[in-house]
């Protein structure tokens, strides 16, 4: 089984491709959490986790899911495959320790560099179309080798793009990011909103409700930015820093 979380589609694409190639089942983390994080595993079944890296660490929703996760059998093989815009930092180490607290062992970890989606701060930009295409092509090429290693159940196996100053990024910057920037309070809706409801439909954690035709955030945001990137008229903004920066989600060119 592959348990995955995704907002803008990069990690969903990876999870679906892995499931297709390994013949494993898919489980969407927010839906599983609604079922009290109970997952039925067969006695010889492997368990994979696929998710995006948020500020050089796993998203909090994934960490909460792992903490609450109950399985019918201990996984025969356990791995993570994460997506990141540039570097994964200490994501593997953080995730490994979370599993160890449950008495589980992480066998393998892989990272895939994918197009950027986080643009909520000054200086943060989407990839150019050229870089976007380059990253997607490289991820597709990398996939075959990762699938082979998973099917062989290689362990221990660590193939992550950690990057420089990883301790500073994952241990100092990330907690500040989590405390101050994982919030829906800066979101605003511009006059161009056409009341289509797409933002409500794509939010993976049901954090948006349309009120009189306009989105209202319900204050349990996970910071995925799906609402911003999927808005067909780019009427959703996060404070002052996303204006004019374009949009990206899997299968949609930025502009």
pLDDT along the chain (255 residues), means of 10: 98 98 97 93 95 98 97 95 98 98 97 97 95 96 98 98 97 95 96 97 98 97 97 96 95 59
pLDDT of res. 117: 96
Task: Mention every residue, 6+ apart, whose C-beta is less than 8 A from residue 100.
Answer: none
Residue 253: the pLDDT is 54
- The H or E element containing residue 27 is strand 26-28
As a whole number of angstroms, the distance between CA 85 and CA 200 comes to: 25
pLDDT of residue 215: 98
Helix axes 10-22, 129-151, angle to 10 degrees: 30
If DSSP states are collapsed to H, E and C, what string results for 169-228? HHHHHHHHHHHHHCCCCCEEECCCCCCCCHHHHHCCCCCEEEECCEEEECCCCCCCCHHH
CA 235 to chain centroid, in Å, comes to: 23
Q: How many CB atoms lie within 10 A of CB 254?
A: 19
* HSE-CB for 182 with a 13 A CA cutoff: 18
Q: pLDDT at position 239, please?
A: 94
φ and ψ at residue 38, rounded to 5 degrees: -100, 125
* CA–CA separation, 208 and 218 (whole Å): 6
């Amino acid at each position: 089984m592959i348990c995955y979380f995704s907002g803008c589609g990069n990690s969903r694409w990876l999870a679906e491709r892995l499931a297709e190639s390994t013949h494993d089942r898919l489980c969407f983390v927010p839906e599983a959490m609604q079922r009290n994080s109970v997952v039925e595993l067969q006695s010889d079944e492997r368990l994979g986790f696929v998710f995006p890296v948020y500020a050089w660490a796993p998203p909090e929703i994934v960490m909460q899911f792992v903490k609450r996760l109950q399985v019918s059998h201990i996984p025969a093989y356990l791995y993570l495959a994460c997506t990141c815009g540039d570097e994964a930092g200490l994501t593997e180490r953080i995730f490994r320790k979370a599993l160890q607290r449950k008495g589980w062992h992480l066998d393998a970890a892989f990272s895939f560099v994918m197009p950027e989606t986080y643009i909520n701060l000054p200086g943060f930009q989407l990839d150019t179309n050229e870089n976007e295409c380059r990253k997607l092509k490289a991820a597709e090429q990398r996939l075959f080798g990762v699938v082979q290693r998973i099917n062989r159940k290689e362990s221990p196996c660590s193939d992550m793009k950690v990057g420089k100053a990883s301790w500073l990024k994952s241990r100092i910057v990330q907690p500040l990011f989590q405390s101050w920037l994982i919030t829906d309070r800066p979101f605003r809706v511009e006059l161009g909103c056409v009341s289509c409801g797409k933002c409500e439909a794509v939010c993976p954690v049901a954090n948006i409700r349309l009120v009189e035709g306009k989105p209202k955030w319900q204050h349990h945001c996970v910071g995925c930015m799906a609402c911003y990137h999927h808005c067909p008229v780019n009427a959703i903004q996060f404070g002052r820093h996303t204006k004019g920066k374009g949009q990206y989600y899997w299968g949609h060119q930025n502009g």
